[in-house]
Structures are given as C-alpha cells and as structure tokens.
C-alpha cells in the first residue's frame, strides 16, 4: 500500500503535474521538489504567471488561435491583413509549427481537429462553417492538415464545401522529409514522392 | 495467449503519449483490438493508417485482455488513397461499416469484399455498385439480411420490383401496386447482379441506408457516417454531370 509522504497540497500538486504531457508521477515528484527548493525564485513566479495566463488566455473568435486577446495578434497583424492566402491547420500546435518555419505573413484558420468517426468528431464539431464564412476574403486556401487518412478526408470535405467558391484550394506536398533516407521511408510515402517529383 | 494473422486496419485511437489502440479486421478472427506500443512514432503512424493491410501478432496473458499487437506492413494503401477523394471516402465508409461488427467474431465474407473494393481497378460507378453490395452483405452478416429471393405476397421469383420497408422482403410489381407509396423500389441489379446505372446504384444505397438506419444505427444510437452522405453527394453530382472523372473510361 502506498504511504503518503507529503501533505495534501504537495500530493495534489504532484498528481496535477503528472497529468501533463511528458511527465509521469516520478518526474512530477522531481519537478515539485525542485519547485519547493526554489520557492521564491521559481515557484511563486510560476504560480503568478499561470494565474495571469488563466485570466488572460482566450480563443480568437476569428481564426481559433489561442492568445491573450481576440482577435489574436496574428489576425490583427497589419502585415498579414492584405495577404490573400489562408492556411488551414488542425490545431494550434500546427499553427505554431508553421510560424516557427517562417513561411511568411499569412493568416490561419484552426479547425480544432479532424473528422474522426472513431472519436465521434463530425463536421459540426469543427470550425468548418466559420472557415466557409471567412473563405471569400482569400484567393487561396492551403489545407495544411496531417497526411493521414482522417486528415485528408477532412481536406476533401472542405474542398467539396468550397468547390463552387472559385477560390484556389491547395494542400501541402507529400514526400521525402529533409534528412530522410529512402531506405527507411514507407512505400506509400515513396510512391507519393515519386508522383510529386519536380524538375531540377 | 498468442496468435498471428493478416488483417485490415479499420481504426486507430490514441492511447497515452506514445501508444495507440489499433482496431483491425483479421482473417478468421474478425474485428479485434490491440495496443501498439510506440504506435504514434513517425514510422509506425505511416503503417497504422485505416485501409492498410498488415500482418499482426497479438499477445496477451488472458484471452479477454486487450493485448498487445506487433504490426508489420503487408500492403500499403493509405498513401495512394489520400489523393483520390472518392477512394478515400469509400475506405472511410468501409472502415465505419466494419466497426459495426461484433468483436472477435469472424466475418471473412465482408473482409474479402472490402479488400476487393480497395484493390480492384474499378471506375467510380463499379466501385459504388460493389459498395452497395457490401452494405447488403453487412446487413446479412449482422442478422438483418433482406429476403430478395421471392415475393412476400405471391411467392413469385420473377418481376420483383419493391421491398417492404418493415420486413425487408421483396414484392413483385404486380403485388405492390396498391402499396406503392410505402414500398421501397428494388434496383434490378440486386437480383440479377447485372451492371447498374448510376440511378439504380443510388436507389440501392437508399434501400440499404433505410435498413441500416432501422436495424443498426438507430438502435445503437449512432448517426449514419457523414462520409456516406459525402460519397452519395459525389455520385449524385456525377449523375447530374457536374463531376467527370478521368477514371470513367475504365471498365
């Protein structure tokens, strides 16, 4: 039987931290011990920062990004305002990944997932209607969803919805990743890469 | 407990940070689930896509446990599917239908039909026709098969033109005259397995959809798979000439 080794407050903190991605009970315990040791230098500023974030974080009503204001800083960025390209992503992590890649001053739309019959996610659970409403502002919509069966079903669903809009609908290329060795790639990706080959 | 077999992946659900629960239909074993450790890695994610055929080894301490799968890719289809809209919708619909089967109960007839649909060199019409047969077979395997062999009223085996929406039994054109507003039209290709027109195929889907709704989706509190509507909408577009696929010329 597990014996409690610390007070309720500390145990609760360990349990909550253990629920974070990448952390288990052992690593959560180490993190809590570290926080306790650095109470003033780390624990208190962290608690204050988390409280501020809890108070301020909101979902952008326009694109679905998370920020401390709505419309978010991306939607209100004047450099992006006249860009005719909209990039559709599954979730905020993908938006951040594209921003890190420095693809330019584009605007985004976060779907909030993909169509997944297994998880019971249907078109009404995603922000597809909002995307259809925003679409006429753009001349190109890039469907940057994952190259999975569910991701591409979602992409085709959106394409069907925008079929008669006259907007150019594109998707990201599928193929060999930078640093990828052909020998280790799956046959399907290789076949797609071969189909999408370009002239040098 | 351990066994090995070949199967078709029909669903993948995330489990924890690195693992997934794979749902596959295995020859001789039916719909069977198992945990794949490390299934969310880049290499495994490419293999664990619905529509891919795989070689599976399942291990568990007891038969009733979820168990752990070891997966090797046998026939990759997902990468080819994702660029073909109708093939992708068809695959998703097949997977949604196969998920209706009870667990660990072999239904090799459906698996065979599913792999035929996935691998066959059909045009859109041919694929839709065999998919409607698949729905008919699914109803049969679930215990709600339609009786299209003889007329429920006269016992005649020729001239069958309608189906009773309640009993699922065929009715001849003559016997059905006075119930026309209630009977469902029976497309001829369901009886004689001939090549069907697009209008007939859509009629076939309406028929199977009615019985799937009545016997399967509604009692289980399920909505029809949205991808079925999308696929039928594409077929209807084709009927009205809005879509002209380059694969139309195939046999």
Tell me how close the Cα of B49 comes to any Cα of chain A, in angstroms: 6
**Run of H or E including B202:** helix B198-212
Distance from the Cα of residue B39 to its chain's centroid: 25
Please report residues of B whose CB lies closer than 8 A to that of A147: 82
pLDDT value, residue A3: 64
| Domain end (from B47, B78, B109) | B78
CB count within 10 Å of CB B141 equals: 17
Q: pLDDT digit string (tens) for B9-22?
A: 999 999 988 999 99
Does B244 lie at the interface with A, CB-CB under 8 angstroms? no
Peptide bond into A71 cis (omega under 30): yes
Per-residue pLDDT of B137-186, as tens digits, reads 999 999 999 999 889 888 888 889 999 999 999 999 888 888 888 899 99
Residues B84, B71 share a domain: no
The predicted structure's pLDDT at residue A186: 76
Q: How many helices (H) and strands (E) does chain A have?
A: 7, 6
Architecture category of domain A78-171 in CATH: 3-Layer(aba) Sandwich (3.40)
Nearest to B46 among A157, A160, A186 (CB): A186
Residue listed under structure tokens 């077979």: B137
Distances (CA, A) of B62 to A40, A135, B22, B67, B68: 52, 53, 18, 8, 11
- Percentage of chain A lying above the pLDDT 90 cut: 67
| pLDDT value of position B213 | 97
Distances in Å between the Cα of A119 and the Cα atoms of A112, A125, B31, B65, B73 are 13, 11, 17, 22, 24
Mutation target to probe the A interface, by most A beta carbons within 10 A, among B83, B233, B235, B245 is B83
What tokens were used for B156? 């005649």
Domains held by chain B: number: 2
Would you say the C-alpha torsion B83, B84, B86, B88 has a positive or negative sign? negative
The boundaries of every CATH 1.10.8.420 domain in chain A are: 8-56
Looking at the structure, tell me whether residues B110 and B220 fall in a common domain: yes
Query: Which residue in A has a C-alpha nearest to residue B225's C-alpha?
Result: A117
Structure ipTM: 0.78
Residues B201-214 pLDDT 10s = 999 999 999 999 99
Report the topology of domain A8-56.
Helicase, Ruva Protein; domain 3 (1.10.8)
Give the mean pLDDT of A81-90.
93
Q: Is the pLDDT score of B248 beyond 50?
A: no
Mutate to test the interface with B, among A149, A155, A173 (most CBs of B within 10 A): A149
Quote the domain boundaries for residue B224: 80-248
How buried is B11 (Cβ within 10 angstroms: 0-12 exposed, 13-18 middle, 19+ buried)?
A: buried
Contact predicate B136/B157, CB 8 Å: no
- Interface membership of B148 toward A (CB under 8 Å): no
Q: How many Å from the N-terminal Cα to the C-terminal Cα in chain A?
A: 66
Q: Please answer yes or no on whether A188 and B88 come within 8 Å at the CB atom.
A: no
pLDDT averaged over every residue in chain B: 89
Beta strands at B53-59 and B2-15: parallel, antiparallel or unpaired: antiparallel
Of A150, A160, A191, the CB nearest to B79: A191
Percent pLDDT > 70 in chain B is 95
Q: How confident is the model at residue A56 (pLDDT cuts 50, 70, 90)?
A: very high
Tell me the shortest Cα–Cα distance from B140 to chain A, in angstroms: 23
Strand pairing report for A107-110 and A85-89: parallel
Query: CA-CA distance, B200 to B247, in Å (whole number)?
Result: 20
- Residue of B13, B79, B93 for testing the chain A interface, max A β-carbons within 10 Å: B79
Which residue of chain A is at minimal alpha-carbon distance from B231? A157
**pTM of full prediction above 0.90:** no
Under a CB-based contact definition with an 8 Å cutoff, are residues B12 and B22 in contact?
yes
Kindly list the residues from chain A whose CB atom is less than 8 angstroms away from the CB atom of residue B23: 118
* Residue B102 pLDDT class (50, 70, 90 cuts): very high
B26 pLDDT tier (thresholds 50, 70, 90): very high
Evaluate if residue B247 carries a pLDDT over 50: no
pLDDT tens for residues B32-58?
A: 999 999 999 988 988 999 999 999 999
Considering only residues 194 to 223 of chain B, which have any Cβ-Cβ distance to chain A shorter than 8 Å? 223
Question: For position A196, what pLDDT does the model report?
Answer: 83
Is B34 in the same domain as B149?
no
CA distance B192 to chain A (A): 34
Tokens 């999408």 -> residue: A196
- Interface contact flag, A115 B226, Cβ < 8 Å: yes
What secondary structure letter does DSSP report for A140? E
Contact A191 B13 (CB under 8 A): no
- As annotated, the residues of chain A forming the CATH 3.40.1360.10 domain(s) are 78-171
- The answer to whether residues B71 and B94 belong to one domain is no
Spatial distance between the Cα atoms of A71 and A178, rounded to a whole number of angstroms: 35
């Amino acid at each position: 039987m597990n014996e409690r080794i610390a007070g309720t407050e500390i145990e609760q903190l360990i349990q909550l931290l253990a629920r974070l991605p990448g952390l288990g009970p052992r690593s959560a315990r180490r993190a809590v011990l570290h926080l306790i040791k650095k109470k003033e230098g780390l624990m208190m500023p962290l608690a204050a920062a988390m409280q501020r974030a809890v108070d301020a974080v909101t979902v952008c009503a326009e694109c679905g990004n998370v920020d401390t204001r709505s419309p978010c800083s991306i939607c209100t960025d004047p450099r992006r305002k006249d860009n005719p390209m909209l990039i559709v992503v599954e979730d905020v992590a993908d938006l951040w990944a594209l921003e890190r890649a420095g693809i330019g001053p584009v605007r985004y739309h976060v779907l909030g997932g993909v169509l997944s019959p297994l998880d019971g996610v249907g078109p009404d659970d995603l922000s597809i209607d909002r995307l259809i409403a925003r679409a006429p502002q753009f001349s190109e919509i890039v469907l940057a969803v994952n190259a999975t069966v569910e991701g591409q079903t979602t992409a085709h669903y959106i394409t069907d919805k925008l079929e008669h809009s006259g907007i150019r609908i594109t998707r990201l290329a599928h193929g060999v990743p930078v640093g990828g060795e052909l020998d280790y790639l799956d046959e399907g990706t290789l076949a797609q890469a071969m189909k999408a080959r370009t002239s040098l | 407990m351990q066994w090995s077999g070949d199967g078709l992946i029909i669903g993948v659900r995330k489990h924890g940070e690195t693992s997934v629960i794979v749902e596959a239909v295995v020859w001789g074993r039916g719909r069977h689930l198992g945990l794949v450790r490390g299934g969310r890695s880049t290499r495994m994610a490419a293999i664990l896509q619905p529509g891919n055929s795989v070689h599976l080894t399942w291990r568990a301490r007891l038969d009733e446990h979820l168990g752990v799968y070891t997966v090797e890719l046998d026939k990759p289809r997902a990468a080819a599917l994702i660029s073909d809209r109708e093939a992708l919708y068809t695959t998703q619909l097949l997977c949604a239908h196969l998920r209706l089967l009870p667990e660990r109960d072999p239904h090799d007839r459906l698996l065979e039909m599913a792999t035929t649909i996935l691998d066959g060199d059909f045009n859109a019409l041919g694929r839709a026709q065999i998919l409607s047969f698949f729905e008919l077979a699914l109803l049969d395997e679930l215990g709600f098969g339609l009786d299209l062999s003889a007329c429920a009223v006269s016992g005649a085996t020729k001239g069958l033109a309608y189906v009773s929406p309640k009993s699922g039994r065929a009715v001849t054109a003559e016997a059905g005259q006075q119930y026309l507003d209630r009977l469902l039209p029976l497309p001829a290709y369901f009886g004689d397995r001939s090549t069907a027109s697009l209008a007939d195929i859509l009629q076939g889907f309406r028929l199977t959809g009615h019985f799937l709704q009545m016997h399967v989706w509604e009692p289980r509190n399920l909505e029809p798979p949205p991808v079925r509507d999308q696929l039928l909408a594409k077929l209807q577009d084709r009927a009205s000439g809005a879509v002209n696929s380059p694969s139309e010329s195939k046999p």
